[in-house]
Chains A and B, each alone.
Chain A
């Protein structure tokens, strides 16, 4: 399993690096993504019950979730299509930023840029899956540490823990200790964000999200708890932010952060599960595949101007007045 997780972590890292390069070469307007969250997000993608409808898990993710999507089986070329805002971008048809996934067939609810709104919306899918409904799936919602200052985070704590109305909701906080430029200490008085769950009587944990094995074990435990008990759980994972907030801050390498992939590769080498040569070759191969893929999509069309009017309404496409 370690080798499989490593493979997906490499794929996710290489994808984000390709997207950053594309941004820097002028092949996209903006980059935001998840380098530094792979050790946590890849195990999440492997552990979810993937599918459509109430018997599978709903995912309300944030814009650093590429590792989760790739672990679920997403095609990295689709992220390249979104980066280039092509009409063939399956997540948003050229309408949204990189990392803003949407896959209805897998219950991946559209990622949106406003911070933490997913914590209010997740209550709805969790309610549809609450105890007594017979639904087998659970709802998983993820945000960062800075976003937990929004009222929506408190909303999720309050609504998921009402006595007799508990919701099968797994709340994940990936804590990278920053909100754009504002450090954790500048926004929070609480020692751990997950401590806030204790007041609501829900189990909580803080884990090293840079360790994929610890992440896998903690996520498995939390998911099993929520699935069985149909009650909320709050899990906080300490992660890194390896390329800053977004392209707006340069997307350059943050040298003082722990790199979960480097650290895991050292572990795999020490345990003689993989050799340095093999791992370097793997990274090189995936990187090359994506270079070719980004060339391959160059012939795919941009959205037409008139397509801006598509999908306003799910029935008739009213524009202004009704004629």
Chain B
């Protein structure tokens, strides 16, 4: 089964061969490396930029204004913070020009902890991203979602941020959740599309006959149906919450996991339906907890669904610390863990008004 990074690579191949993608670029994105996570190996339109994130985002905006279809990568979201005024410009150009110029670009960037990445390879970006209006923001939790969301991002006429949960990039698809058209056999797929180690100047990938799959932006996915507690989450925390829910099922706690997939626009209908069903809600994400996207969801739930609630909503998020420390104990103490999520779900499940 394809890994998430292979799924991303295949989506970019479909993008450049069928959907008009003209430029896939960033630091070490082109040959010979093809991306520090291998996401852009073997792509025809991939090229290396100078080590200059502002230049990368500026170039993407300019290419989009010129009618091209760029996919720009910031190597780690930790290095996107010096591009924020350009991200704001990408998000406000259509609006500030009164509909004169739209900016059809995709920015992709690995986010979050989970690889012992220390202070500058562990940042999350969802809280920052959702504070930049004019962008659509998506974050997959499975290889198939990564494939389908990236194709939707490429086809979109607006700037779309594709947040890649770096802890899941090597995660394989589950049976029945493969990439349409890609072989299920790991070795066969790897042989076709993974660049060989060492000299790869003569190497060319053999792309499978991929089918297009569009996972709509703005639609959530109920990753696990349940009746007792709703968990609203995305990205890396989805499999973590699913594992927590499986363990709690043994204790008779039936948890519903809603994978938002899109942070903006987000699927308020799906959130409403789930909260009406369970009357208890937990938001889980890795970004620092002060002014966190989960806080926004909780605020809106309280304002609009207050009388549906049987327990105060909870947030399990990253600690509001200046960084995520390298040592195992420091990282574990800084971001949500399965045990912390389990405890929060169990507390909500037990709470009676």
Contact = CB atoms under 8 A, between A and B. Distances in A.
A155 B133 CA distance: 26
A110 B96 contact: yes
B23 A120 contact: no
Contact of A158 (B52, B64, B89, B266): B52
A267 B102 CA distance: 45
B62 A122 contact: yes
A314 B158 contact: yes
A91 to B, nearest CB: 7
A110 B62 contact: no
Interface string A16-57: 000000000000000000000000000000000000011000
Nearest to B104: A314
Interface of A is mostly: loop
Interface of B is mostly: mixed
Contact of A120 (B57, B68, B100, B262): B57
B134 A127 contact: no
B65 A321 contact: no
Interface in B65-119: 65-68, 70, 85-86, 89, 93-102, 104
Interface residues of B, number: 51
A26 B131 CA distance: 34
A77 interface: no
A92 to B, nearest CB: 6
Contact of B62 (A91, A126, A162): A126
Interface stretch (A96-104, A209-217, A251-259): A96-104
Nearest to B101: A104
Interface string B152-187: 000011100000000000000000000000000000
Given A104-B100, A124-B63, A311 B95 contact: yes
Contact of A313 (B49, B60, B86, B136): B136
B66 A322 contact: no
Contact of B63 (A114, A128, A152, A320): A128
A280 interface: no
Interface residues of A, number: 48
Contact of A124 (B66, B157, B267): B66
A104 B67 CA distance: 11
Contacts of A72: none
A124 B64 contact: yes
Given A158-B52, A314-B158, A320-B268, A120 B58 contact: yes
Contact of A103 (B85, B100, B300): B100
Contacts of A104: 97, 100-101
Interface in B23-73: 23, 49-50, 52, 54-55, 57-68, 70
Nearest to B218: A322
Interface in A92-124: 92-93, 95-96, 100, 102-104, 109-110, 112, 114, 117, 119-124
A100 B50 CA distance: 30
A321 B98 contact: no
A50 to B, nearest CB: 16
B219 interface: yes
Given A104-B100, A104-B101, A152-B58, A127 B63 contact: yes
A313 B158 contact: yes
A124 B54 contact: no
B13 interface: no
B54 A152 contact: yes
B269 interface: yes
Nearest to A52: B67
A152 B70 CA distance: 20
5 contacts: A89-B98, A128-B62, A128-B67, A152-B58, A321-B268
Given A53-B67, A102-B96, A124-B59, 11 more contacts: A54-B66, A58-B62, A90-B98, A92-B97, A121-B59, A123-B58, A128-B62, A310-B98, A314-B99, A321-B271, A322-B266
Interface of A: 53-54, 58, 89-93, 95-96, 100, 102-104, 109-110, 112, 114, 117, 119-129, 139, 151-152, 155, 158-159, 162, 310-315, 318, 320-323
Nearest 9 pairs of A and B residues by beta carbon: A124-B62, A120-B58, A321-B268, A93-B98, A128-B66, A318-B265, A314-B102, A124-B63, A322-B218
